């Protein structure tokens, strides 16, 4: 098979790039190891920056998001037994975020690709990039016991943290930076009405908690747990009881509980790979960077990667302009590191770190008290949360 752009991974970033390129007449193929049902079964983030929402509209995949997504003008941070609001719209002249589940977003992109007869090959095993330093790189893969090859101009690795794309960059070229946090998030998804109209981040002596939502009838809740916690040790009743302990009393009393429809423990890490381009291979999304979910930046960073990549590829094919592709890694990393900083800061602010001792806890308390005594500090948080410009 011959195409212009070969994309590894049919998550949101791979499908979004495929759609944006197709709309400009640029041929592409997406290879995905898993089935479509498996991809759509992943439970992930649901807070979209304006840039991400605008990209979906440009890709012709934003109609349902606009109809069913929820505009949020702020978030709540709970500490000291009370909730304190960060009002984005007030601090930033009307700027907001959109709450719309990643699963639904991915479904919309799949439907958009199908409507355009886009080529998405599922069950592609043993995908491997070759000749990425030449003008004719290619991918090999196996499907149904047969070997296949896709010859292309560019390979885009949107295949996640454990994918094959990043490993194709030689170790003497690739530099990685990582921080692994000493805890995880135990998350529970339930078909229950959310406890609040906006997200509540809770700082508590028993550990962090987050109340979020996917819709008016579906809620997603998280609590901080140790790295060695077993999922089997957490019944639904135990989860709900612990969540209530970490919320202000008036919030906890309004919590509607119910059976979980998904429950999992996610580790937290900060990770960046540099550079994000080697030859004709480009990294995008989780293949190049991971953030702890505290700042709602993972999916949104993937979107800015795709914005820069699509601009560069379109300019290359339309006018022969290579500048966007040549600048991609530097442009993407400049924004990535700012989001890494914000996500790290939110994580350090709101979680319990027993190893930091009494001094560290007092510093966290002082930071929270300062935050809500300073409009400048609140504006800085709001600016980062709603998303820095592309």
Choose the catalytic residue: 293, 308, 316, 328: 293
Query: Which residues does the chain have with pLDDT short of 70?
Result: none
Beta-ladder partners of 284: none
State yes or no: is 203 an active-site residue.
no
Choose the catalytic residue: 201, 308, 317, 328: 201
pTM for the full model?
Answer: 0.95
State yes or no: is 141 an active-site residue.
no
Asked if 336 and 289 touch (Cβ cutoff 8 Å), the reply is: yes
State yes or no: is 278 an active-site residue.
no
State yes or no: is 221 an active-site residue.
no
Asked if 301 and 12 touch (Cβ cutoff 8 Å), the reply is: no
Helix (H), strand (E), coil (C) string for 151-213: ECCEEEECCCCCCCCHHHCCCCCCEEEEEEEEEEEEEEEECCCCCCCCCEEECCCCCCEEEEE
pLDDT of residue 214: 86
Choose the catalytic residue: 278, 297, 316, 351: 297
The CA-based diameter of the chain, rounded to the nearest angstrom, is 64
Choose the catalytic residue: 72, 278, 289, 316: 72
Q: Which CATH number fits domain 5-45+99-177+269-347: 3.30.70.240, 3.50.50.60, 3.40.50.800, 3.30.870.10?
A: 3.50.50.60
pLDDT of residue 41: 86
The closest of 213, 259, 267, 219 to 239, measured between CA atoms, is 259
Instruction: Provide the token pair at 197.
Output: 């109209």
pLDDT of residue 44: 75
The closest of 58, 82, 85 to 72, measured between CA atoms, is 85
State yes or no: is 259 an active-site residue.
no
Choose the catalytic residue: 100, 110, 328, 385: 385
Asked if 94 and 4 touch (Cβ cutoff 8 Å), the reply is: no
Backbone angles phi, psi at 144, to 5 degrees: 55, 40
Instruction: Provide the token pair at 271.
Output: 């990770």
Helix (H), strand (E), coil (C) string for the chain: CECCEEEECCCHHHHHHHHHHHHCCCCEEEEECCCHHHHHCCCCCCEECHHHHHHHHHCCCCHHHHHHCEEECEEEEEECCEEEEEEHHHHCCCCCEEECCHHHHHHHHHHHHHHCCCEEEECCEEEEEECCCCCCCEEEEEECCEEEEEECCEEEECCCCCCCCHHHCCCCCCEEEEEEEEEEEEEEEECCCCCCCCCEEECCCCCCEEEEECCCCCEEEEEEEECCCCHHHCCHHHHHHHHHHCCCHHHHCCCCCCCEEEEEEEEEEEEEEECCEECCEEECHHHCEECCHHHCCHHHHHHHHHHHHHHHHHHHHHHCCCHHHHHHHHHHHHHHHHHHHHHHHHHHHHCCCHHHHHHHHHHHHHHHHHHCCCHHHHHHHHHHHHCCCC
């Amino acid at each position: 098979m011959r195409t212009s752009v070969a994309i590894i991974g049919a998550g949101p970033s791979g499908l979004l790039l495929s759609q944006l390129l197709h709309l400009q007449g640029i041929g592409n193929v997406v290879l995905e190891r898993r089935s479509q049902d498996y991809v759509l079964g992943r439970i992930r983030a649901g807070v979209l920056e304006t840039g991400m929402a605008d990209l979906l509209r440009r890709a012709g995949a934003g109609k349902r998001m606009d109809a069913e997504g929820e505009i949020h003008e702020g978030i709540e941070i709970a500490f000291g037994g009370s909730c304190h609001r960060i009002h984005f719209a007030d601090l930033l002249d009307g700027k907001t975020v959109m709450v719309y589940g990643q699963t639904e977003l991915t479904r919309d992109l799949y439907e958009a690709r199908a409507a355009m007869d886009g080529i998405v090959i599922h069950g592609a095993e043993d995908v491997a990039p070759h000749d990425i330093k030449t003008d004719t790189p290619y991918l090999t893969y196996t499907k149904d016991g047969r070997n296949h090859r896709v010859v292309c101009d560019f390979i885009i690795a949107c295949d996640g943290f454990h994918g094959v794309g990043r490993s194709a960059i030689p170790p003497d070229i690739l530099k990685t930076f990582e921080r692994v946090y000493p805890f995880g998030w135990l998350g529970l998804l339930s078909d229950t009405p959310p406890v609040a109209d906006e997200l509540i981040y809770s700082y508590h002596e028993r550990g962090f908690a987050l109340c979020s939502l996917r819709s008016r009838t579906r809620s997603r809740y998280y609590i901080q747990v140790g790295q060695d916690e077993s999922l089997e040790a957490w019944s639904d009743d135990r989860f709900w009881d612990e969540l209530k302990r970490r919320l202000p009393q008036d919030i906890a009393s309004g919590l509607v509980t119910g059976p979980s429809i998904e429950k999992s423990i996610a580790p937290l890490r900060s990770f960046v790979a540099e550079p994000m381009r080697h030859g004709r291979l480009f990294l995008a999304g989780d293949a190049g960077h991971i953030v702890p979910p505290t700042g709602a930046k993972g999916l949104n960073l993937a979107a800015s990667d795709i914005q820069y990549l699509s601009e560069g590829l379109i300019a290359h094919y339309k006018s022969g302009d290579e500048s966007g592709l040549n600048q991609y890694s530097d442009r993407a990393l400049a924004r990535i590191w700012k989001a890494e900083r914000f996500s790290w800061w939110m994580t350090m602010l709101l979680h319990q770190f027993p190893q930091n001792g009494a001094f560290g806890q007092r510093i966290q308390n002082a930071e929270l008290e300062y935050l809500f005594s300073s409009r400048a500090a609140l504006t800085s948080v709001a600016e980062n949360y709603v998303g820095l410009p592309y």
